[in-house]
A and B are shown apart, each in its own frame.
Chain A
Amino acid sequence: MSKKTPKSNATMTGAEALIKGLEAHGVQYIFGLPGGAAIPLFDALYGSKIKTILVRHEQGATHMADGYARATGKVGVALVTSGPGATNAVTGIMTAMMDSIPIVVLCGQTISPMLGKDAFQEADISGITMPVVKHSYLVKEINSIPRIIKEAFHIASTGRPGPVLIDLPKDMTAGAFTGSLDAEMDLPGYSFPGKGNKTDIVKLAKMFKQSKKPLLLIGHGAVIAGADNIIKALAEKMRCPVTMTLLGKGGFPESHPLSLGMLGMHGTAYANKALTSCDLICSIGCRWDDRINGNNDEFCIGAKKIHIDIDPAEINKIVKPDLSIIGDAKMIAEELLKHVSPLNTADWLKELEFYKQEFPLHYSDAEGLTAQRVIDDLYHVTKGKAVVTTDVGQHQMWAAQFYKTDRGVNWISSGGAGTMGFGFPSAIGAQFGRPGELVVAIVGDGGFQMTLCELATAAVNKQPVKVVVIDNKYLGMVRQWQELFFDNRLSGVDLKGNPDFVKLAEAYGIKGFHISKVDECKSVLEQAMKHPGPALIHAEVIKEGNVFPMVPAGKSAYHMIIEAPKTKMEKPTGST
């Protein structure tokens, strides 16, 4: 932005104090969209070294902040106005909450004397978001702003990270700030665990020693803690196979021979087989959620279960573990590494190798271009090095299966919330955080249309993200369920009326590519990935592909279906 016009009044406003606080925390970008109640904040950003990224919809702002946070490990910041601006941000806040992502969301608000009086664009956003934030503030004193900013960043980024919302009445941001900029935090009720109990860690090492068929289960917590390298060392030292949740992808290199890839509802057959035959499962930073454990009574029967998590509330929530250790995944893994020794897992690894050979992930080009082919080719074209974000649906599961990830921070997907519309804006955020690296969003034709307005944001800011639109002309994942469980009574899933995606991209000044045949797929992807600016790749794939393997919702891994079933299936009992 241009130089700051000097102000007649020399005193600092609350908003300026706030921006100073953000600068002190090293904030580079604020993703936002203004409105009356947020103007003082935008005014304070004028001339700041923080770059304001104007989005086209507030949901995009939160997902960009989220993608930035996931790609960098730093706190992402979004700024929205009161009322509808704030409510538009709720989906992104909930998405960040479900996946433990550190974002700080600043919301403009009506002036404090009007709070609770149905003022224009008043929404009780701290009330609305209370169940989906790690913490929130309604600012009532201008001079408390520096403390609140400090606390917000601390809370968002430490322990189990999560979103923090700050509701900022306009008189708080426009009014004169007279306090001190370096305020102390006042959080007597906040602490988070660190090292983990050493006796239990030693005990865990002994349990591993007694195990013949151990399995490491890596979740998002391990990625957040930056435990990737230690986990690799641990697995290699013990010769222990590793499986990962959707968000644990990359917490251990998927290209490693000990990797079984993703487990769960659409996990690999061999990971799910490992789940049913292991005698010890040690989770690091995963919450045993219903995508990997549809039926607790049948989950890893007979196996010793160990639960390592930073959040005490995760212990006993779903699984009753034989041993639990509360603390930071990296610190615990580091300590564990000191106590474990090589295990005799040769037979176990042979058994798993057999499963890998017998039930590999596969697809066929016989019926035309498939999403799997596109993603598999993308993996090879980018040598597995891209930062990949996904939207939600079939393409997400195929991306999880076929885009093997070697670094946790290179895989960005909405897991807990399953938020359609997440993939593209989160890629823009990731690209801001990781300039010079290749960032690719793999999105469905449905979900992309929920936030495609951000094509403008990518274009204007020259963010060279690559968007691969997997166009099956359906809300594919729902269509798959209807086909398999509801007699193919397709209802509300036909995406008739899709735009010409290439023309759409071009309308925003973004280069468009088109793929519809197997033999052109790789070369078009190659060209597109080389394109210096943002690009959209419209991949028209077969309409009725289904994701397999599949563990029906509410069932355990014993009920995995590896191929399309010949007969009609019961309606699933699990939630979704």
Chain B
Amino acid sequence: MKSTDIHTLSILVANKPGVLVRVALVFARRGYNIDSLVVSPVHNPKFSRMTITAKGDPTILEQIIKQVNKLIDVIHASEHDTSNAVDRELSLLKVKVTPSYRTIILKHAKEQHAKVVDETDRLMILAHTGSTEELNALETLMTRYGLIEVVRTGKLLMLKGKETT
């Protein structure tokens, strides 16, 4: 594996103040750059879920996971990939809509299962859910027509089958 490989970590934490800082410090200290980070409630209000994607050396990542696991407020942390988990991301894309491009933009959106969620002042906002790769693909397509801005949630991940994440 290369040091540029992207890794996805799922971390279940106690819902306490400061836990995000503690986790982030473990990454920062070891020179790991966090690419995306999602923190959200789980169905038990005592806990929260963090899903983190980060780039870097896998041996350092092993250390990071162990150090994160050691944090008192962390219930467990582990790395996953698509072989045992599904992942999804949501992006909002603001695209310039000239009359000549409108049809083709809508066609691409439909093909990629993206929805039009707003259209104001010749600007359209598309909401797109999918894998990171799918999101990247639509984003690249839209740059042809005038992509104004993109906001993405970052990756969410859930283990397949009986096991809980």
Contact = CB atoms under 8 A, between A and B. Distances in A.
Interface of A: 126-127, 130-131, 134-136, 138, 140, 155, 187-190, 311-313, 315-317
B158 to A, nearest CB: 20
Nearest to A136: B18
Interface in B115-158: none
A188 B14 contact: yes
Contacts of B75: 188-189
B29 interface: yes
Interface in B1-34: 13-14, 17-18, 21-22, 25, 29
A130 B72 contact: no
A492 to B, nearest CB: 29
Contacts of A135: 71-72
Interface of B: 13-14, 17-18, 21-22, 25, 29, 46-47, 59, 62-63, 66-67, 69-76
A188 B13 CA distance: 9
A138 B72 contact: no
B10 to A, nearest CB: 14
Given A127-B21, A130-B22, A190 B69 contact: no
Contacts of A190: 72
Given A313-B63, A313-B67, A126 B18 contact: yes
A493 B30 CA distance: 33
B152 to A, nearest CB: 29
Nearest to B12: A189
A357 B27 CA distance: 49
A189 B18 contact: no
Contact of A316 (B21, B22, B62, B74): B62
Nearest to B19: A189
Contacts of A126: 18
A387 B45 CA distance: 50
B70 A130 contact: no
Given A127-B21, A188-B75, 20 more contacts: A130-B21, A130-B25, A134-B72, A135-B72, A136-B18, A138-B18, A140-B17, A188-B47, A189-B13, A189-B14, A189-B76, A190-B72, A311-B70, A312-B69, A312-B70, A313-B66, A313-B67, A313-B70, A316-B63, A317-B63
A316 B69 CA distance: 15
Given A312-B66, A316-B62, A317-B63, A138 B17 contact: yes
B21 A155 contact: no
A463 B76 CA distance: 46
Given A127-B21, A312-B66, A313-B66, A189 B29 contact: no
Contacts of B25: 130-131
Contact of A187 (B17, B18, B72, B76): B72
A189 B63 contact: no
A189 B17 contact: no
B145 to A, nearest CB: 45
Contacts of B63: 313, 316-317
Nearest to B24: A130
Contacts of A312: 66, 69-70
Given A312-B66, A316-B62, A189 B73 contact: yes
Q: Specify which of B13, B59, B69, B72 lies most central, judged by the most chain A CB atoms within 10 Å of its CB.
A: B72
Contacts of B69: 312-313
B62 A189 contact: no
14 contacts: A126-B18, A127-B21, A135-B71, A136-B18, A138-B18, A155-B72, A188-B46, A188-B75, A189-B14, A190-B72, A311-B70, A312-B70, A313-B67, A313-B70
Contact of B74 (A189, A311, A317): A189
Nearest to B47: A188
Contacts of B17: 138, 140
